[in-house]
Amino acid sequence: MAKVRVLILRVGGTNCDFETEWAFNLAGGIAERVHINQIIKKEKKLKDYQILVIPGGFSYGDDIGAGKVLANEIRLKIWEEIERFIEEKKVILGICNGFQVLVKSGILPFNTKQLVTLEWNDSGRFEDRWVYLKIEENVSPFFKDIPEIIRMPVAHAEGKFLPKNEKVLHKIEKNKQVIFRYCDKDGNLKGYPYNPNGSINNIAGICSEDGLIIGMMPHPERCVLKYYYPDFLKFGNNEIFTPSFKIFQNMIKYFT
């Protein structure tokens, strides 16, 4: 069976593309870093891939807001390809800045106009720390066989999840589109610093209504191996991969 092809979209300011490429390759896929201009110029075709990833970083320097320029570029220059990709039930993953792009382009949560945003952290500063996440019952197929509470690092200044109104929030919650929430080590939902940005309902990641489009602020690609954890000696001697790595594996297995 042919391996799953993964396109990792990059532009000026992207800085987590190599880690993301490595994680998907390690999970059994064939990942490739592709600049958006290569798609615009038809040098690369989105239809040739099964997974599209918008990785973390500071696309275009976040000059008019995190992810906004890239979101506009996607809307104006490659939207037909994106729509076809979604219609074919392929997978899209946005991590940190990629999550910001997905919500500001309107792809998440309902592939309409923009209905949610990721605003400045309540602390008013860049937050770079490890967080606990409680995985919720959700419609996505990519979070199976993962412990209910996991840890990942976050690194962002604009990560506060905010819906346009209560109606939008209620729909996201009712549809089970919330993937995970910030919590303490026991799974209790708490404020800062457990919730590093002040997100409504402690939301750290969401998915589309069919579960195939994922957006998250935490960085799973930065904690694929146990050695990345500050307390990695607590892992068993036979353990190498972390629960976060399972997300990448599940995305590859979805097609195989």
Domain of 88, in residue numbers: 5-255
Place of tokens 């489009």: 213
Range from 56-65, 120-129, 225-234 that averages highest in pLDDT: 120-129
Q: Residues 36-77: pLDDT tens digits?
A: 999 999 999 999 999 999 999 999 999 888 999 999 999 999
Measured at the CA of 214, the angle between CA 21 and CA 157, to 5 degrees, comes to 80
Q: pLDDT-based confidence at 1, cuts 50/70/90?
A: low
Which position among 96, 183, 207, 223 bears the catalytic label?
96
Residue type, 160: K
**Percent share of the chain, pLDDT over 70:** 100
Cα torsion for 241, 247, 253, 254, to the nearest 10°?
Answer: 170
Choosing from 19, 21, 127, 221, the catalytic residue is: 221
What's the CATH number where 173 sits?
3.40.50.880
3-state secondary structure of 181: strand
Of 19, 73, 127, 219, which one is the catalytic site residue?
A: 219
Q: Decide if pLDDT at 236 tops 80.
A: no
What would the mean pLDDT of 125-138 be, rounded to a whole number?
97
Place of tokens 């590093």: 196
* Mean pLDDT computed over 165-180: 98
| Range in 87-101, 150-164, 228-242 with the lowest mean pLDDT | 228-242
Confirm whether pTM is higher than 0.95: yes
Q: Percentage of residues in the chain with pLDDT exceeding 90?
A: 93
Closest CA to 124 of 101, 154, 158, 100: 158
Q: Which two tokens stand for residue 123?
A: 């602390």
* Residue in 154, 151, 255, 240 with CA at minimum distance from that of residue 197: 154
User: Across the chain, which distance is largest between two alpha carbons, in Å?
Assistant: 50
Q: How confident is the model at residue 107 (pLDDT cuts 50, 70, 90)?
A: very high
Give the whole-angstrom CA distance, residue 29 versus residue 26: 7
Tell me, what's the pLDDT at 173? 98
Residue 96 annotated in active site: yes
Whether 221 is catalytic: yes
Looking at residue 199, its pLDDT comes to 98
The answer, yes or no, to whether residue 166 has pLDDT greater than 90, is: yes
pLDDT band at 137 (very low <50, low <70, confident <90, very high): very high
And the tokens for 197? 């940005």
Total Cβ atoms within 10 A of residue 145: 8
Evaluate whether 39 touches 81 at the Cβ level (below 8 Å): yes
What is the spatial distance between Cα 102 and Cα 232, in angstroms, rounded to a whole number? 32
- Asked if residues 182 and 194 have their Cβ atoms less than 8 Å apart, the reply is yes
**Domains in the chain, number:** 1
End-to-end CA distance of the chain: 8
